[in-house]
Chains A and B, each alone.
With several copies, the nearest count.
Chain A
Amino acid sequence: QTLYTYPENWRAFKALIAAQYSGAKIKVLSTPPQFHFGQTNKTPEFLKKFPVGKVPAFEGDDGFCVFESNAIAHYVGNDELRGSTKEAAAQIIQWVSFADSDIVPPASTWVFPTLGIMHYNKQATEYAKEEVKRILGVLDSHLKTRTFLVGERVTLADITVVCTLLWLYKQVLEPSFRQPYDNVNRWFVTCINQPQFKAVLGEVKLCEKMAQFDA
């Protein structure tokens, strides 16, 4: 089974970690000549399988094709990760939606300028920092009485929210900023130390000094 993506794509990590839990074998095509981001995903044969041309994109060995990272992670995962009850499944979707709608925009606004891939805008960054504090506060109170986001074990909710927070924790959440959210920090460090996460993410070094924008 094949996953097309560019290298180090946090959205692809979601599916790869899910596959570590389910045992699904996935071949990652992310570098030329197998996959050249910006070219391969614009070819007619790629667009025939994946009409939106986005990555990550998944092709099963039976020819089954699916795009959108949450759909791929759901497909390569297992029932445990998807939620074994109606309630668990709904709460997992709740946190996955929350990650996409409430975490991705401020996290990208804050982190991208520090990577030099977007212009720095002081007002937008300050607003994004406040949004990140709000989000970490929501997660922190939820995790006060819980080890994982839904139920007693890792699910797609933890995998998705960890991958969505990855750049924040690596790039800008320095100790003084993340100090008020110790339930989130505990949960995040627990997850990234699970063998299935480590197999995909390797050693995740938490930010020591908040990266400033890279002029």
Chain B
Amino acid sequence: MAVNFLMHDKVWFDKFKYDDAERKYYEHMNG
């Protein structure tokens, strides 16, 4: 089934964790 190919899709599932950490770090640096 075509859906199974989707599992090979390259997705950064943890992106939100990194975005959040980066935002907090620079907010803190500029605090």
Complex contact flag A–B (Cβ < 8 Å): yes
- Asked whether, in the complex, the Cβ of A101 is within 8 Å of the Cβ of B5, the reply is no
Interface string of B11-31 (1 = CB under 8 A from A): 111011110011101110111
Please report the C-alpha to C-alpha distance between residue A121 and residue B25 in the assembled complex, in whole angstroms: 18
Q: How far is the CB of A192 from chain B (nearest CB, A)?
A: 18
- Asked whether, in the complex, the Cβ of B30 is within 8 Å of the Cβ of A31, the reply is yes
Query: Total interface residues on B, using CB and 8 Å?
Result: 25
Query: Total interface residues on A, using CB and 8 Å?
Result: 26
Task: Name the one of A6, A11, A127 contacting B2, with C-beta atoms under 8 angstroms.
Answer: A6
- Asked whether, in the complex, the Cβ of A105 is within 8 Å of the Cβ of B5, the reply is no
Contacts of A118 in B (CB 8 A): 7, 17-18, 21
Contacts of B27 in A (CB 8 A): 37-38
Contacts of B16 in A (CB 8 A): 105-106, 127, 131
- Asked whether, in the complex, the Cβ of A37 is within 8 Å of the Cβ of B30, the reply is yes
Contacts of A7 in B (CB 8 A): 2, 5, 29-30
Count A-B contacts at CB 8 Å: 77
- Asked whether, in the complex, the Cβ of B11 is within 8 Å of the Cβ of A105, the reply is yes
Task: Name the one of B13, B21, B30 contacting A117, with C-beta atoms under 8 angstroms.
Answer: B21
Task: Show the binding face of B for A, using Cβ within 8 Å.
Answer: 2-13, 15-18, 21-23, 25-27, 29-31
* Nearest 7 interchain pairs by C-beta: A8-B2, A38-B27, A6-B5, A117-B7, A108-B11, A7-B2, A117-B25
Given contacts A37-B8, A38-B27, A124-B13, 10 further A-B contacts (CB under 8 A): A6-B29, A7-B2, A7-B29, A11-B9, A38-B8, A38-B23, A106-B16, A115-B6, A117-B4, A118-B17
B23: nearest residue on chain A (CB-CB)?
Answer: A38
Please report the C-alpha to C-alpha distance between residue A215 and residue B13 in the assembled complex, in whole angstroms: 19
Task: Name the one of A38, A54, A124, A127 contacting B10, with C-beta atoms under 8 angstroms.
Answer: A54
